[in-house]
Amino acid sequence: MAALVSGRSLLTSFALIISSAVAIPSPATNTACRALAVAVPGRVTFPGEPAYATENADYWNVGLRTDLPACITLPESTEEVSTIVKTLGRHPRAIFVVKSGGHDPNPNHSQIPDGIVVAMKKIKGATYSSVANVAFVKPGGPWADVLTSLEDSGVAVVGGRLGVVGIGGYLTQGGLSFLGAQYGLAATNIRAFKTVLPNGTIANITPESNKDLMTAMRGSGAQFGIVTEFTMDAHKIGQVWGGMRIFTANNAATIFKGLHSFIANGDPKAAIITNAMTVGGQQLYMVFYFYDGAIPPAGTFFELEKPFPLLNQVKTQSYPALLAANGVGVNATGSSASFRSITLPYLNDIPEVYSLINDQWMKILAPYFTTVTGLTTTIAYQPLQASLAQASAGRGGSAMGLTATDGHRFILEINCLWTNPSQSDIVYAFSRELTDWVEKQLPTWKTLQAQRAVLTPAGSAAGASAALARKVEDYVPLFANDATGDQDVLGSYKDVAKFAALQKQMDPQGLFAKSGGFKFGPALRG
Ligand SMILES: Cc1cc2nc3c(=O)[nH]c(=O)nc-3n(C[C@H](O)[C@H](O)[C@H](O)COP(=O)(O)OP(=O)(O)OC[C@H]3O[C@@H](n4cnc5c(N)ncnc54)[C@H](O)[C@@H]3O)c2cc1C
């Protein structure tokens, strides 16, 4: 093991030297860096300085740590962010990205080789107003810190499921939470965005001040400026029940059965993340459980209560303690990392759909178990129930466009870790192979669903919930936080044309249209 680790760090150092040697920021970017150093003295750091090294080492995807930017700005206030954006506006040929937690694994989203990183690390913390029952959440730092600082007030906001996750990207790109089926996507819990707009002015965007912009910002990433504070609805919370359990692969059928039952029938106070992990051709199942209460009623997790776990961390605890426990070790993968995602309708009469996907993934992966160094993959099957869509719509909705009449869905997240950065293209390609295959199967699965529904018209349940379970949702927008850079996430939103026009109106210079993250792309150009 020690030999492996030192071999890996040697490789990383070598890659660092190579990429340092070839790093040539454009003259426009160099000029902008120098202008920033004058505009916000003491807040800009350059290669070779300790603050630069610390910030650049703070990416979850280790592969991004060798993408060296020309300079990094570390503002400490909204006013400084405003000065930075105004300065960038005077240097439109310089390239820049916004970074909060640095957990987005996609190249050029919160990291940019030879460009400028506006890092929000120092704008952090959360406070609670009992009068308005809202929390003021800053974008820097991890979710665990936010929830811990709200704990004494007995409230929580809808945030990440693992305490280590960053805040700014999570919230501006949607946000799946253990509290989502009760209160909606995290972004729909935002009451106001304190934002530095593309022209550098500071605005407090609310549904009252600009309803369309509010909706667009709830899920479009960094396309409308840099958010320096989120005003979020607070929710009462006490002791919760949850944690992780690991199961052997012979429990797969029971686990998928439980997942299928849960998506259509789960209590909104409960949540799960069902993960199939593959290392060297062997699989393990890692399931995260959550219940908003000290003890869940028996049967809350259906068949997921049955298998005997290899490891069991589930217990009654505080919400921040649960999130902290869920994040242990997650930042220390030492690997390159990728996400890819697809959203699928719930197919009530095809309970085998999860194992079909899993089998196909094993087939796709087979040639790579031994050829891609250090390969570990995890497929997360994440419920996106109708209750979450209803709660999201009830809070004014988000850019993703979920509505109160939507059917159940689930989100597939493919996460790969590998240790040889030169193999990244291989990993991206085989991850794409799975989402392409799923997309191709979907029409067949929908036909099969319709046929089986005719054969057993009564189904397993009766009434409205049975009808909802059988509703095959046609609108399946991609989920930004789990997607890869080449997926047209914003183009999958039903209101993309409206949001793209708004982006053009807010940012006529196109400053943020070319900055990091998902973009309106063809919709903006067209
Ligand atoms: C271990 C792990 C667990 C995760 N768990 C969850 C989960 O439970 N639920 C979920 O929904 N997602 C989850 N994610 C995905 C996560 O939400 C995204 O990676 C998200 O981008 C992380 O936020 P961040 O602040 O670290 O983003 P960053 O990497 O800093 O930025 C991501 C994008 O957001 C933009 N951005 C960042 N800050 C701002 C800002 N202040 N203003 C405007 N734009 C900004 C950036 O420009 C960039 O395009 C998880 C990721 C990891 C690695």
* Residue 98 CB–ligand 1 contact under 6 Å: yes
202-205 β-sheet, strand order: 126-129, 134-137, 226-233, 190-196, 202-205
Task: Encode burial over 324-360: b for 16+ CB neighbours within 10 A, e otherwise.
Answer: bbbbeeebebebbbbbbbbbbbbbbbbeebbeebbee
CA atoms within 13 A on the CB side of 516: 28
Note the pLDDT tens digit of each residue in 311-339: 999 999 999 999 999 988 887 788 999 99
- Please report which helix (H) or strand (E) contains residue 504, including its range: helix 496-506
Q: Locate 326 and state its tokens.
A: 């869920």
Distance CA(436)–CA(27), nearest Å, equals: 40
State the pLDDT at residue 21. Answer: 41
* Residue 97 CB–ligand 1 contact under 6 Å: yes
Ramachandran region, residue 108 (left: φ > 0; alpha: ψ -120 to 50; beta: rest): left
State the pLDDT at residue 458. Answer: 57
Give distance in angstroms: CA of 481 to centre of ligand 1: 6
Ramachandran region, residue 510 (left: φ > 0; alpha: ψ -120 to 50; beta: rest): left
State the pLDDT at residue 462. Answer: 56
How many CB atoms are located within 10 Å of the residue 497 CB?
14
Give distance in angstroms: CA of 507 to centre of ligand 1: 23
Q: Locate 125 and state its tokens.
A: 């913390």
For residue 517, the SS3 value is: coil
Which of 67, 103, 392 should be mutated for ligand 1, with most atoms under 8 A from CB?
103
Domains of the chain as residue ranges with CATH:
29-119 (3.30.465.10), 126-236+488-525 (3.30.465.10), 240-317+333-449 (3.40.462.20)
Does ipTM top 0.90? yes
* Residue 144 CB–ligand 1 contact under 6 Å: no
Q: At what angle do helices 353-365 and 424-455 cross, to 10 degrees?
A: 150
How many CB atoms are located within 10 Å of the residue 464 CB?
8
- Shortest CA distance to 30 belongs to which of 114, 110, 117? 114
Distance CA(355)–CA(212), nearest Å, equals: 40
Note the pLDDT tens digit of each residue in 455-475: 876 555 557 788 899 999 999
Distance CA(209)–CA(230), nearest Å, equals: 15
- Shortest CA distance to 412 belongs to which of 259, 221, 247, 220? 259
Distance CA(174)–CA(107), nearest Å, equals: 19
- Shortest CA distance to 287 belongs to which of 250, 242, 330, 343? 242
Q: At what angle do helices 78-89 and 27-39 cross, to 10 degrees?
A: 150
Contacts of 17 (CB under 8 A, 6+ apart): none
Asked whether 227 and 195 are in contact (CB, 8 A), the reply is yes
* Residue 192 CB–ligand 1 contact under 6 Å: no
Give distance in angstroms: CA of 139 to centre of ligand 1: 10
Sites in the chain below the pLDDT cut of 50: 1-22, 523-526
Distance CA(199)–CA(511), nearest Å, equals: 9
Give distance in angstroms: CA of 170 to centre of ligand 1: 4
Exposure of 146 by Cβ count < 10 A (0-12 exposed, 13-18 middle, 19+ buried)? buried
Q: Locate 453 and state its tokens.
A: 């529904």
Give distance in angstroms: CA of 103 to centre of ligand 1: 5
Q: Where are the alpha helices (DSSP H) in 249-311?
A: 252-265
Tell me the sheet residues that pair with 378. Answer: 277, 415
Asked whether 95 and 51 are in contact (CB, 8 A), the reply is no
State the pLDDT at residue 12. Answer: 41
Residue with tokens 């217990």, as numbered in its chain:
315
As a dihedral over the C-alpha atoms of residue 36, residue 38, residue 39, residue 40, rounded to 10 degrees, the angle is 80
Distance CA(353)–CA(259), nearest Å, equals: 11
Distance CA(375)–CA(367), nearest Å, equals: 12
* Residue 172 CB–ligand 1 contact under 6 Å: yes
CA atoms within 13 A on the CB side of 180: 25
Q: Where are the alpha helices (DSSP H) in 366-476?
A: 386-394, 424-455, 463-470
State the pLDDT at residue 526. Answer: 37
At residue 387's C-alpha, the angle toward residues 518 and 353, to 5°, is 75
Distance CA(411)–CA(383), nearest Å, equals: 6
Give distance in angstroms: CA of 363 to centre of ligand 1: 30
Contacts of 440 (CB under 8 A, 6+ apart): none
- Shortest CA distance to 146 belongs to which of 186, 198, 112? 186
CA atoms within 13 A on the CB side of 159: 36
